[in-house]
Structure 1
Amino acid sequence: MSDALRPRALRLIRLLSRPGFHLFLTGALMVLGFVLAHRLSERSGREELSALSTERLELYASNLAAELGRHASLPSLLAIAPTLQALLQTPDDAEARRAASQMLARVNVRAGTHQIFVTNPQGQVLTASEALSAPARLAEALAQGRTHFFAADANTGSTDFYLLYPLRQSGVIVVRFNLAPLEATWVDLGARTQGERILVADDQDVVIMSSVQAWKYTVLGHADPSRRQALQASARYPQAIGADLELPASLEAHQGQQVLLPFPGAKPMLAQQRQIVPLGLRLVALSDLTEVRRRAQLAAWGGAAFGASIGLLVLYLSSRRRALRQLTQAQTDLRQAHAQLEQLVDSRTAELRQTNEALKTQIAQRLQTEGELLQASKLAVLGQMSAGLSHEVNQPLTALRALARNSIRLLESGRQDAVTTNLRLMDDMVERMSQITRQLKSFARKADEQVAGSAPLLACVRNALLLLEHRSRALDVQALVDLPTGLRVRAEANRLEQVLVNLFGNAIDAMQGEPERQLRVQAQSLDAGRRVQIKVQDSGAGVSDEQLQHLFEPFFTTKPAGEGLGLGLVISAKIVDEFGGRLRAERLPQGMSFEFDLDVETWEQADV
C-alpha cells in the first residue's frame, strides 16, 4: 500500500470501528429488514388469501347454480300433463282450472317449491297452486322472452327465483322458489368465520343476496339520485335502495383488489368477484385483510430483528457464535411457522375440493335419476311377471323330463319312430323356452336414451305379447293384432316394447272379471303415410271421468295398494314424447283406448 493511501485506509478503519457507525448500520439494516419483510409477507398473505377466496367463490357459485337448477326439469315434466294441456285448450273452463290448480298444489308440495302457476302470454294467471297475484316483473320478463328472473318478496324482503317455461299452446308455466334458506347458510357461515362476506348482485348492480343482512339492496358502485329514483320506481326491490358500497366496477376473480367500505369502523378488505353469465349475476367475496396485515407486521418486526442481528454481528465480532445461534433458531421458528401455515392452507383446500366433488356427484346422480327410473319400471314389470314365467318354463321342463324317460324305455323296446316323435316334441319345447328367455333378456337390458334407427312395429308388438302370454292365456284373453308386416317406425325398439308392455299389462288387468276379454292392436295412417297412429284397445271396465283426468299424473293408480306405483303411464308418455309423439287415453263404450302416433320409416303396405 502506498504512503498516500495509507492515511485514508486508517481513517476508514477508525470510522468503521466507531460505535456510532455500527449503530447507524444496525438501524439501517433494521429499517431495510422491516420494509422488505413487511412487503414480502403482505404480498404472500394476499396471494394465499386470494387463492383461498377464489376457491370459495367457485364453491359458492356451484352451490348457487345447483340450488337454482334443482327444479329446472319440473316445468318440462308439467308441460306434458294432460290436465294442463286441457286447461290451455279451454282456459275459460272453471272445472279445468280447478283440476289444474289441485294438480299444481300436489306437485308444489311434493317438489318443495313455493308456488307453481300457469299464465297466458300476456302474464294473466290462469291457474295456480294457491291464490296469488302475478309478480310485477312477470309481464316484463315475458315480453323480453326470458326463461328466468329474480324478484324480491314484498312481505319478507327475501329473494325469489322464477323459472319460465313457454308452452306451444300459448301459455307459460312459472315455478317460484325462495332463496332464503341458501342465504341463511351464508349468514351463518359469515357469523362463524367473521373474515369473509359474500354478496350477489343482479344486472343493475343491486345486492339481492348477502351474508350481511344490512347490505341487502345496496348498490355495489355509486348511484346518483336519478339512478336511485329509477331503481326504486322499477318495483324490483321491496324497500328503499341502501347506501353505496363504492366497489370498483371491474374486479378480477384471481387477483383481488383492496377496498374500504364507506361505513364507520370499516376495515380494509380484499374484493374478488365471479361472473355468473347465464343468470346475469355478480358473485362478490370480501375477505378481511386484518390477519394478513397482522402477519405482515409480525414478519416486518422479524425482518427488523434479523437486520439488527446482522448489525450486532458486525458490531460485536466477539459474540459471533452466540449471534449465529440466535439467528439459526429464529430461522427455524420461521420455517416451522411457515410449514404449519402451508399445512393449514393445504388442509382447508383439500376440504373445499372434497366438498366441491361431493356437490358435483350429487348433480350427476340427479341427472341419472330419470334413466334409472325407466329401468326400475322395467324391472318392476319383470318382477310382476316372474311367477307366471316360472310356471310357463316349469311346465315344458316337466314335460321334457317325462319325454326323456319315456324315450329311454322306447329305445330299450326298439320303438325308433316313437323316440323320434318324442325328440321333436322336446325340441319344440326347448325352442319355446329359448324364445321366452331371449325376449326377457332383450326386455331387461338398459336401452339407449337416444332414438337411433327404426323399429319393426309388428315384431315389437309380438315380443310384448310374448312376455305377457302367461297372463293372457290364464285369463283367456283374445289378442287381435291388425298391423302390416312391413311397417317400421322411428323409435328405439327396446323402449317401444316397454311402452307396449305397460299398455298391454294395464289392459289385461282391466279385463279381469269381464265376460269378454279382447285386446286389439291397430294402426292407422296419418299425414299421407308419413306418420302412423297405434291404438291399444281393451274390453275392460274402463275408468271414470275423474280418474281419466289424472291417468298421466305421477304416482296415480287405480290398482289396489301394493300392486302398482302409478309410474307406468307417466314413463310411457315421456318415452313417446321423446319419440316425437303423444300418448292419449279415450273411453270406449266398453273398455279403454290408448293411442299414440310415431314417424314412419318404411311402410310397404299402404292400407292398414
Structure 2
Amino acid sequence: MQAQLRKLAAMLNALQTRIVAIAIFLAAVAGFSAAVGVFGYMSALDQLEQRGQSDLALASDRLTGELQRYRELAVLMADHPVVAATVMGNPDGAADLLRRTADKTGSLDILIVSGDGTELSSATDGDPIFHGALPYFERAKDGAMGVYHLVHDRYDQRTFLFAAPVFSEEGPVLGAVVVVVNVDAVEAVWRGANPTVFFTDDLGVTFISNRSELVFSARDVDVVPRTTSAEYSSEILKPFMTHSVSEWTGLPLWSVQDQPYVPETALHLSLSLPVIQMTGEALLNVAPARTLASLQAGVAAAICLAFGAMLFFATERRRTLAEANAQLESAVAERTVELSDINAQLRQEVSERIATEAQLTKAQSDLVQAGKLSALGEMSAGISHELNQPLMAIRSYAENAEAFLERGKTDVAGQNLSRIAELSRRMGRIIRNLRAFAKQESEGLTDVDLGGVISAVLEITEARTKASNVTIEWVPPARPIIVRGGEVRLQQVVLNLVSNAMDAMEGQSQPQRIEIDIDTVDGRVELYVRDSGPGLDEPDRIFDPFYSTKQVSQDGMGLGLSISYGLVQSFGGMIRGRNHPRGGAVFTVTLDPSNSAEVAA
C-alpha cells in the first residue's frame, strides 16, 4: 500500500512539473508572439509611412501643378498689350480677350483691376467689385504675386485667386490681373481616391480634400475670418474630425470616430506647401499593417507551438521509454532468474527426451524387426514345405543316381545329379532371401533394384500363393528400375502389401488375383499393388496404428501398414491406398529414382 502511495505521489509531482513547464512555455510563446507582432507592426508602419509620404507628395504635386498653370496664366496676361491698354484707360477688346482666354484655360474668371482697386473688365458678366485693400491686391500692388483662397460670394463656390501686377514702362505698378480658379474642377479628378488627403491653410481649415465631408472642417471654429491668405464666413466652418492621437509607436496614429469614409485608425502625415500657402495632410489606413502583424504573430506562435509540441512529445516519449526501460530491466532481471530455473529444467527434460528418443528408435527398430519375423512366422509352414519338397526330391534323385551308377548307366545318373544341383541352388536362393529379409538393416539410403525386390518377395511368398490358389500378375521389367531406399526395408513394404492383399481375398469364392505393376509419373517411380478383394472400408484410417479389418481368427495387430507408411516416408516417398473403380483395393508406393540410374517406363 505504501509503495502504491509513493508511486502515486511521484506521478502527481511529475504531472505538476509538466503543467508548470507547459504554462511557462505558453507564456514565453505569448511574449515572443507579441514581440514579433509589435516588430512586424512597426516595420509595416515604417513601410506604410514611406509609401504614404510618396502618395502625399504625389497628391501635393498634382494640386500645385494644376494651380501653377493658373499662376503662370496670370503672369502672362499681365504682360499682354490689351491688358496694359485697359489699365491705362483703353478697354477696347479686353472683355473678349478675357472670355476667350478663360474658355481655353478652364479659368473660372479673369479680372483686370486698376491701380486703385477698381475692376475694369472681366470674363464674366457679373457685377464688378472693388478689390482695394484685399490681401491679394495689396500683394500685387507691391509688385509680387498675390495668392488668396475663399468661398467667393460672386461665384458661390471655393476659389483660388492669383493676382499678377501690371507694370508700366517706367516701372511703377499700374494695376493687376486676377485669375480666379474653380477649386471644385481641380479637386474632381482625384475625389474618392486613396489614401485620404486634405489640404489645410494657416487657419487650420480644410479647403481642399478628396473626401468632401472634410471640406471646411476647422481645427478651431473660432478662427479670425480673414487673413493674408484666406477668407471664410463663420457660418460655413464646422468642427474638425473627432480623433485621438497615439504616439506609442513614435508615429502619429489617429483614432478617428464618426467618419464613414476615413479609416478608423490611420497614420497621419503632413507636408508643407508654401507655394500655395497650405499644408498637405494624409490619413493612411493601418488595418493592413495590423493584419500583417497579426498574421506574423500567429505564424510565430504556430511555429513555436508546433516546435514545443514536438519537443514535448519527444520529451514525453523519452521519459516513457526511460520508465519502460527501467521496468523492462526489472522484468528482465526477474525473468532471467526464472529462465535460469526453466533452463535447468529444460536441460533435464532434454536429457530425458534424448534417452526416450533413443528408446523409441530402438523400439521402432524392434517393431520393424518383429513385423518381419511375424511375417516369416506366418509363412513358416509354406517355407518348410518349399524346403522339404526339394530335400525329398534330392534324396530320391540321389538314391536313383546310386542305382544307375551300379548298373553302369552313367548318363542317367548324370541327369539325376544335375537335377540335384538345380534343386540345391533353388534351396540356397530361398534361404538367402530369408536370411536377407530377417536381418536388421543398418545402412542408409542406397540404390535398390525395385524389380529385384518384388521378385524376391514373390519367391518368399510362393508357397502361400500356391496354397491359397492366388494368381500373381507380374511382368518383370526388361531392365533394372533403380530407386532410392533400403533393400530389406523395401522388401518388407512390398511383403506387407502382398500379404495384406492375400488376407483380404481369403475365403472368396471368386478367383483371387494380385496385380503388380511399375510406372513412371512426373519423374518419380510408382509401384501399384491391386487385389480382387472386397476393397477398403475406411481408406482414411488404413495407415493408423492398430487399425485392422481382419477377423478375430486371423493373426495381426494392425501395425503392418503403419510400419510400411513410416518406412516409405523414411525413403522420401509416400504410400496411398484407395478402392479401385473395378473392385478391390489398390496401393500406390511413390519413390524417388536414382540419379545415376536409367529408369524404365
Range of TM-score over shorter length: 0.3 to 0.5
TM norm structure 2: 0.44
TM norm structure 1: 0.43
